[in-house]
Amino acid sequence: MILLSLAAIWLAGFGLVRAMFPRPLRWSLHNVFLFSLAVGTGAGLASCLYFLALLIAGPSLTTLASTLAGAVIVALAFGLVARRRATELSWAEGPPVPKYLLLVFAVSVALALAIFLGAVLFNPHGEEGAWSIWNLRARFLVRAGALWRLAFANNLNWTHLDYPLMLPGLVALCWKLSGESTAAPIAIAFLFTLGTVGVLMCTLAALRGKMEAVLAGTLLFGTASFIALGAALYGDVPLSFYILATLALFCLQDRHPADLRFTALAGLMAGFGAWTRNEGIIFVIAALLARAVALFRAGERSAILPQVLTFLAGAIAPLAVVIVFKLRVAPPSGLLAITPAEIFKHLSDIARWILTAEGLVIMLVNFGRFLIPIALVLGIYWYLVRFKVDARDRTGLATAGIALSLTLAAELLIDILYEPNLQVEISTSFERILAQLWPSALLMFFLASAPLQLAPGSAARKAKTASKSAKAAPPASGPASRKPAEHLQRLN
Amino acid sequence: MLAAVALASSFWFLLDVLGAVSHRAPSFRVADFESRFANFPKPGPENVYGYVSDNRPNDPASLSEFHLTQYTLAPATIKASANEQLVIVNYHGKSLDFNFLRAAHLTPYQDFGNGIALCRPAAARR
């Protein structure tokens, strides 16, 4: 039953994104991308609707079930009847992926799966931060019935009462429809982890080619701490999904400047990010500023206003839900309890700045629990391959770079100004902050790096094989028959 | 090289995960802690309980066990205080330690076994 509820939520998300980018329903990069985006779209949509239904009509199962059913039917209907011409994402040209790399990718998928399953078997309720905040709130929302606002009572202020409700709302909705079980938060975490890799790989496949997509996917699946963070049932991986989806859609927007639906969907994703964690609110502002600055720097000033307005139009609905939640339900943030005198004292304490910088550097070196620091490995990769940015990707890359830098800087500044125990905060949350940005950083890295070339031996072998098959095959005029020749041309 | 580092690191991490799974440490597992409340009556949102534990004040498990109690008994409200009408006592010995209860000014009300009991403030009896 839980799987059915989640499938319905996923389908609602798919209907919504397909309504914006309709293409024939078949196995294609375009549809895989939409399916990946649908994880976050469906989750955000269902969670927002759950909260509004709870606020307006109370915790009636009939109301909640009919609201979700209505949303699924409407979204699917829109998705299936949409006939407008939409931009189709297709594979970018590039060398074919060698079999050994596909094998390595498959092994990384298997290892990631084993890590995820091992972690959730060991800790089906997630890590302490997950069950004591997100799942505890979901339990209150489901078990307290009409008294659901007890979830925000003052005696629970150790559970960070001002955190948005995307995850607890979604878990509570699944529990309400199909009974309490750890399967719901685990399945949600799994879908978000998988969806994040899907969005990363599909975006790179469309913008750079299969090789970069497979490499980035291998690296993200191979980031053990990212997979473990997903299995810990925290909100960081869902937030990383929304940050990545927003920036990926901006990059796609630059390849298809006439189709502003990419920006509208980016706004929706950023809005859902704000509904996931408070850091998502920072990201919305950072993304908006970054987009305006990037377009200004690129000399595309006429595009600034339409894109900013379209982004806001996409983000407005989830942001409205966040505002209602903050004004009507959640108590004021604990940060507001810090006096200006304390903030000034923290600001002028140089030791806090040094501690933060030191913590960041250490975390950057240790990030991901790689055997060799990943920053070093990426540095060597860059030295060998170098950056070669496609002119069409410059604005998207600038947007991503500025947005990620602003988000990271703002999060660190908040820690410096407000956090009473900075040392504990650094050791417990810095890795999670970096994990929120990691998939987007990988998108930027592989989008900027020069195309990979096959080793000469490998290229020659492939060219020989292609030439043999071209001779053996009867002449044909379809697009498939042109592929070997195109590959030969590229390899030569 | 990128892929090799990612794979080797994942494999190394997987060994850690498998090690954790095979050497189960029951004291901090949520399900095990929840099972200690198997005989405790199912609370409603209107219930408010105090909470005391015989953990040492500097025991890192102390706060986690309080959080776990709240998580287990949600939607009841659990307050880290001995001044409520009913107080949950989380004890780790074989039986309730009456010296501990006396020091906390509590009198036993009902022992549910598994280290969980309900008590009342000593003043409430008078």
The single-letter DSSP state of residue B117 is: E
Could you tell me the residue ranges of all domains in chain A? 2-332, 465-491
3-class DSSP state of B95: coil
Chain A positions in Cβ-Cβ contact with residue B74 (cut-off 8 Å): 136, 139-140, 143-144
Predicted confidence at residue A433, as pLDDT, reads 94
Cβ–Cβ < 8 Å for A174, A60: no
User: Are B7 and A128 a contacting pair at CB < 8 A?
Assistant: no
| Residue B95's pLDDT band (cuts 50, 70, 90) | confident
**B68 and B110 housed in the same domain:** yes
Domain shared by B56 and B100, yes or no: yes
Same-domain check for residues B61 and B118? yes
B107 has a pLDDT exceeding 60 = yes
For residue A489, what pLDDT is reported? 41
The total of structural domains in chain B comes to 2
Residues 6 or more apart in contact with residue A142 via CB below 8 angstroms: A59, A172, A175, A176, A180
Chain B interface includes A145 (CB < 8 A): yes
Quote the domain boundaries for residue B6: 1-25
Chain A hits for B71, Cβ within 8 Å? 125, 131-132, 135-136, 139
What is the pLDDT, as a whole number, of residue B22?
63
Which of A59-68's residues contact partners 24+ apart within 8 Å by CB, and which partners? Answer: A59/A141, A59/A142, A59/A145, A59/A146, A59/A148, A59/A176, A61/A176, A61/A177, A64/A173, A64/A176, A64/A177, A65/A177, A68/A5, A68/A8, A68/A9, A68/A12, A68/A173, A68/A177
Q: Does B18 touch chain A (CB under 8 A)?
A: yes
Judged by CB atoms closer than 8 Å, whether chains meet at A222 and B3 is answered as yes
pTM of the model: 0.90
Tens-place pLDDT, residues B23-69: 655 445 898 999 999 999 999 999 999 999 998 878 888 899 999 99
Residue contacts between A and B (CB atoms, under 8 Å): 126
Domain match, B98 and B74 both = yes
Residue B30 lies in a domain: no
Residues B64 and B40 in one domain: yes
Residues B9 and B47 occupy one common structural domain: no
Establish if A394 touches chain B: CB-CB under 8 angstroms.
no
| pLDDT for the residue numbered B20 | 63
Which chain B residue has the Cα nearest residue A379? B2
Supply the pLDDT for residue A241. Answer: 98
Chain A residues 194-233 with CB within 8 Å of chain B: 215, 218-219, 221-225, 227-228
Question: Distance from A129 to chain B by nearest Cα, in Å?
Answer: 10
- B4 shares a domain with B49: no
Structural domain includes residue B31: no
Q: What is the pLDDT of residue A467?
A: 53
Q: How far does B29 lie from chain A, in Å, by closest CA?
A: 7
Complex ipTM value: 0.87
* B106 shares its domain with B71: yes
Mean pLDDT, consecutive 10-residue stretches, chain A (492 aa), reads: 89 92 85 96 96 92 88 88 79 87 92 92 90 95 94 90 95 93 95 97 95 93 92 95 98 93 96 96 97 95 95 97 95 82 92 94 86 85 84 93 97 91 88 95 92 60 52 43 40 35
CA–CA distance, A282 with A294 (Å, rounded to integer): 18
Q: Name chain B contacts of A119, Cβ cutoff 8 Å.
A: 17
